[in-house]
Structure 1
């Protein structure tokens, strides 16, 4: 599929709204893939297209750089009440303070866009209306991440890339995606 985020967003919106609600009365789109592949850009395009779409960034659900192993449980705790028609809650990770910050709420209904590395897991597969996998050349992705965050975080990014690769291999996320999009 083309990498134009607005084109991909239109395709995803059409597909998720053509199917039945999967998250109580609402719908869920997961945008997953390795760091620097364009997930946040696609989520923004989807939120711009769909009125009242709510975007949750999984990097705000992680307990720091080594938080990927706990992410699936955190996402499940957020989504389970929503599937039952109740508000879902989560605590935001403050990367600058290196600790948990305020709690946030997601109201049931509408479209929830969950984006970020590891946002999809087999535990929530039955709740996902559309799973999009974004990818790009590893060198391109690292350059994007370092440009965004600064070269001083290179050691963290090197470990992160290992961690995300292990997670994706374990979950087989790419092979389960409804769409695979290259963004380089």
Structure 2
């Protein structure tokens, strides 16, 4: 089994070896189901890239999604992040504030144009953005029950019911979007997920 650091090193090398497809920006999308370890891996990749002297920004889909709108917020990310970076301009968007359990629009985030954008979270590697990605990594993580417990540990017991609903939604989303099938790299992949 590969170490997490080795996975981060490999992804950093992979995205740097690929051409930029969002203006001058290389985009690494780290996608997969909730509780799989995407955020941890993304932070590790960012650390590896920064240690190498690469300017890097990380944007999470959690900054856009809500319980009621799990993936339809995408135009906000395109308008606020992807289009500005493609045009060589800094990006700006309002991050969702999840404190208190009910997400609402929070603070503005401004990000200068990086060498690499690490876009992480559920639907980060969706079909509509794949042509702009330099690399797509699928993080399958453990079985759904363990992922649910990880997510509950992160978000609190009061979120359990919503997280179960989220898991059902994302299962259908990934089956239709074929994210795992289109990934350049897969980490922690359960074989049955690959077949979806």
TM-score, normalising length: structure 2: 0.86
Between 33-42 and 84-93, the greater mean CA deviation after superposition: 84-93
Distance in 2 (CA, whole Å) between partners of 1:15 and 1:103 is 31
Distance in 1 (CA, whole Å) between partners of 2:170 and 2:112 is 29
Go from structure 1 to structure 2 and tell me whether the alpha carbon gap of 1:123 and 1:25 turns closer, same or farther (over 3 Å shift).
same
Partner of residue 174, structure 1? 180
Equivalent pair of 2:63/2:95 in contact (CA under 8 Å): yes
- Paired residues in the alignment total 182
Go from structure 1 to structure 2 and tell me whether the alpha carbon gap of 1:146 and 1:121 turns closer, same or farther (over 3 Å shift).
same
Q: For residues 105-160 of structure 1, what are the alpha-carbon distances to aligned partners after superposition, in whole Å with 9 as ceiling and x for unaligned?
A: 22223111011111122221111111100012111111111122222211111111
Partner of residue 139, structure 1? 145
Where structure 2 has 5 or more consecutive residues not aligned to the other structure, the ranges are 191-196
Question: In the TM superposition, what are the counterparts of 1:84-123 in structure 2 within 5 Å?
Answer: 84-96=87-99, 98-123=103-128
CA RMSD of aligned residues (A): 1.7
TM-score, normalising length: structure 1: 0.91
Equivalent pair of 1:24/1:108 in contact (CA under 8 Å): no
Name the SS of the counterpart of 1:68 in structure 2: coil
Distance in 1 (CA, whole Å) between partners of 2:167 and 2:126 is 18
Partner of residue 34, structure 1? 33
Match of 1:152 among 148, 152, 158: 158
Equivalent pair of 1:38/1:183 in contact (CA under 8 Å): no
